[in-house]
Structure 1
Amino acid sequence: MAGGSKKEKAVEGSDPTAKLTDDILVEVISRVPYKSTCCCKCVSTRWRDLFSHPDHRKKLPQSLAGFFYEGYNRNRSPKTARYFTNVSGEGDPFVDPSLAFLPNYKSLEILDCCNGLLLCRCWKETDPKTLDYVVCNPATEKWVVVPPTNWSSEVEVTRLGFDPSVSSHFHVFEFIDEDVWGTEEDKLNDCSGRIEMVSVYSSKAGVWMHHRTADHNLFAIPRHSKSVFFNRILHLAAFDDMVVTLDVKGSLLWIIGTPASSCNDSSINDIFLSNGQLHFAASADSVCLSVWVLEDYERGKWTLKHNISHSQLFGVMYSEHDYNVISFHPERNMIFIVCGHENTLMSYEMDCRKLYFISQLGRDGQIKCGKTPYIPYVPLFSESLADGP
Structure 2
Amino acid sequence: MAAFSWDQLFEVFSCLPAKAIHRFKCTSKTLAKLLEETCFASKQAQNSMKKDDTCFFLQQETPHYNEKVEVELHPLPGNQLSSGVSHDVLRFLSNSTRVLASTKGLILCNHATSHTPIELFICNPSTKTWLPIPTPKEVQKRYDAADPTMLLLESSYDGCDDDYMVFHLELESTTDWSSNYACKIFKPKEGSWKTMETSFFVGGRNMKFNMPVCCNRAIHFISDCGPYLTKRSCFFNPYVMSYNLESGTSTMLRVPKDARRGSHDSSCDMRIFIWGKAYTAQCSICLVRLRKSVFTVWILTDYEPSRWLRILKVRTKGMGLREENPKITGFAVMNGDLLVFATETRVYSYGLTEENYMRVEEICQHRFQSNVCFTSYLDTLRFCGRGAESVPF
Q: Please report the TM-score for the alignment, with normalisation by the length of structure 1.
A: 0.67
Are the counterparts in 2 of residues 236 and 245 from structure 1 also a CA contact under 8 Å? yes
The separation in 2 between residues aligned to 1:157 and 1:236, in whole angstroms, is 14
Q: Does 1:255 align with 2:252?
A: yes
Matched, 1:160 2:154: no
Distance in 2 of aligned mates of 1:299 and 1:337: 30
CA shift for structure 1 position 193: 6.1
1:270 lines up with 2:272 in the alignment:
yes
Tell me the equivalent position of 1:107: 96
Query: Post-superposition shift, 1:100?
Result: 7.3
What displacement does 1:348 show?
1.2
1:132-147 matched pairs, under 5 angstroms: 132-147=119-134
User: Who is 2:368 aligned against?
Assistant: 365
Residue 236 of structure 1 aligns to a residue whose secondary structure is strand
Contact 1:195/1:218, CA 8 A, preserved across alignment: no
Residue number among 140, 161, 164 corresponding to 1:170 in the alignment? 164
Change (3 A) 1:99 1:230: farther
- Tell me the CA shift for residue 290 of structure 1: 1.8
Contact 1:220 1:239 in 2 (8 A): yes
Across the two proteins, how many residue pairs are aligned to each other? 326
Deviations 1:243-268 (A, max 9, x none): 23224479343222223235689665
In the alignment, does 2:325 pair up with 1:338?
no
Classify 1:273/1:23 alpha carbon distance in 2 versus 1 (closer, same or farther; 3 Å): farther
Q: Which residue of 2 aligns with 1:234?
A: 219
Q: Contact 1:268–1:325 at 8 Å: present in 2 too?
A: no
Does the 8 A contact of 2:121 with 2:130 survive in 1? yes
1:108 positional shift: 1.7
The gaps in structure 1 that reach 5 residues or longer are 1-17, 31-36, 38-52
Conserved? CA contact 1:245–1:253, under 8 Å: yes
> Using the alignment, how far apart are the partners of 2:342 and 2:181 within structure 1?
33
Matched, 1:300 2:286: no
Change (3 A) 1:379 1:267: farther
Give the alignment's TM-score, normalised by structure 2: 0.67
Contact 1:268–1:324 under 8 Å retained in 2? no
Q: 1:265 to 1:81 in 2, by over 3 A?
A: farther
Structure 2 Cα separation of the partners of residues 97 and 229 of structure 1: 31
CA distance in 2, matches of 1:358, 1:159: 28
Alignment of 1:224 with 2:193, yes or no, is no
Aligned equivalent of 1:85, options 74, 77, 84: 74
- 2:223–2:240 Cα contact (<8 Å) kept: yes
Distance 2:106 2:80 in 1: 23
Q: Deviations over 1:282-325 (max 9, x none)?
A: 33642532222222233332222223233322468344523532
* Structure with the larger RCO, 1 or 2 (CA within 8 Å, 6+ apart): 2
Which residue does 2:86 correspond to in 1?
96
- Give, in whole Å, the separation in 2 of the partners of 1:232 and 1:122: 28
Residue number in structure 1 paired with 2:105: 116
Residue-by-residue CA offset, 1:9-48 (whole Å, 9 max, x unaligned): xxxxxxxxx99x7369759x97xxxxxx9xxxxxxxxxxx
Distance 1:148 1:120, change over 3 A: same
User: Is the CA contact (8 Å cut-off) linking 2:57 and 2:71 kept in structure 1?
Assistant: yes
Aligned to 1:203: 188
CA–CA distance in 2 between the matches of 1:148 and 1:128? 16
Q: How far apart, CA to CA, are the structure 1 residues paired with 2:381 and 2:60?
A: 28
SS in 1 for 2:70: strand
**SS at the partner of 2:111?**
strand
- Provide the rounded CA distance (Å) in 2 between the counterparts of 1:176 and 1:57: 35
2:317 alignment partner in structure 1 = 311
Q: How many angstroms does 1:141 deviate by?
A: 3.3
Q: CA RMSD in A?
A: 4.2
Structure 2 CA distance for partners of 1:91 and 1:170, relative to 1, 3 Å? closer
Q: Distance in 1 between matches of 2:320 and 2:307?
A: 29
Q: For residue 41 of structure 1, what is the aligned residue in structure 2?
A: none
Q: Following the alignment from structure 1 to structure 2, what is the Cα–Cα distance between the partners of residues 57 and 273?
A: 25
Q: Residues 142 and 65 (structure 1 numbering): CA distance in 2 closer, same or farther, change over 3 Å?
A: same
The structure-2 alpha-carbon separation of the partners of 1:236 and 1:95, relative to structure 1 and needing over 3 Å to count, comes to farther
- Counterpart CA distance in 2 for 1:100 and 1:338 is 20
Change (3 A) 1:248 1:116: farther
Could you tell me the percent identity over the aligned residues? 15
Q: Are the equivalent residues in 2 in contact too, given 1:66–1:377 (CA < 8 A)?
A: yes
Alignment check: 8 A CA contact 2:71 2:90 kept? no
In the alignment, is the contact (CA less than 8 A) between 1:279 and 1:291 conserved in 2? no
**CA deviation profile, 1:76-108 (whole Å, cap 9, x unmatched):** x96432221222485697113653798x99732
SS at match of 1:239: coil
Moved more, 211-220 or 159-168: 211-220
2:149–2:210 CA contact under 8 A, matched in 1: no
Larger radius of gyration: 1
Please report how far the alpha carbon of residue 134 of structure 1 lies from its aligned counterpart in structure 2 after TM superposition: 0.3
SS in 1 for 2:318: helix
Distance 2:275 2:202 in 1: 28
**Could you tell me how far apart the structure 1 residues matched to 2:302 and 2:269 are?**
24
Return the letter of the residue paired with 2:368.
Answer: G
Residue identity opposite 1:80 in structure 2: V
Moved over 6 A (4+): 263-266
The residue identity in structure 2 corresponding to 1:290 is: T
2:381 counterpart residue number = 381
CA distance in 1, matches of 2:118, 2:185: 17
Cα separation, partners in 2 of 1:152 and 1:335, compared to 1, 3 Å? same
Q: 1:116 to 1:235 in 2, by over 3 A?
A: farther
Question: 1:200: Cα distance to partner?
Answer: 2.7
Structure 2's unaligned 5+ residue stretches are: 17-33, 226-237
Distance in 2 (CA, whole Å) between partners of 1:159 and 1:216 is 16
1:210-238 deviation per Cα after TM superposition (whole angstroms, max 9, x unaligned): 3574778455332532x223433322323
